[in-house]
Structure 1
């Protein structure tokens, strides 16, 4: 094989690897799914008539998600976490299973957590101080 043939084979191999990598990224489901759980230790379970809000804590971060009691039926849900001195981080929309998870860096500050599914809701005062 001469140098020109080797270069053509290398170019073809590089093009093939690049194309296969791009196809893998563009394929449906290739992107990582959004997490459906929070990391850390569950520190609060806030039950209410239409759902449950779970609160987790790990390394100064607080994570929360709200789960419906009737999965599969799309309904307005929300979850919110606010660290003292900060603005609330909210996930609100029509979901079938859960709202969130949302994560806030709280450090050693207190947080307020709210959760809602349809007409039912729960709200804490300042917790995890």
Structure 2
């Protein structure tokens, strides 16, 4: 093999390596984009007919976000979290994928979580997370 062939082969290998690294760096960011909006670890997944409510906990803080079951159609998506003894914090928006996350400090109190997408909805009982 002459030096030109070696250069071409090593350039091709380098290009494949760079593309692999770029894909590896891009994929986790897109997969975790939704999860990063709520801090902590996921403690509950609450499915219903038109969506799912994901509940996260970090220390005494509880965060919830509602996701549409079939993203793409713009619908009203809402979520609320209520710590026992306090008012519910509710957020809603018209969107194609998810609600705005709701974060509340619950300490060691039970919480009630609700979520809705279009005409479907979910309402939990009191949960101690």
Provide the TM-score with structure 2 as the length reference: 0.70
**RMSD in angstroms over aligned alpha carbons?**
1.4
Contact 2:93/2:100, CA 8 A, preserved across alignment: no
Partner of 2:111: 111
Partner of 2:49: 49
**Partner SS for 1:98:** coil
Unaligned runs of 5+ in 2: 1-34
Partner of 1:127: 127
Corresponding position: 1:84 with 2:84:
yes
Corresponding position: 1:73 with 2:62:
no
| Higher relative helix content | 2
Unaligned runs of 5+ in 1: 1-34
Q: Which has the larger radius of gyration?
A: 1
**Partner SS for 1:100:** coil
* 4+ residue segments displaced more than 2 Å: none
Question: What number of residue pairs does the alignment pair up?
Answer: 95
Residues 23-42 of structure 1: pairs in structure 2 closer than 5 A: 37-42=37-42
Contact 2:39/2:58, CA 8 A, preserved across alignment: yes
The whole-number CA distance in structure 1 between the counterparts of 2:109 and 2:69 is 31
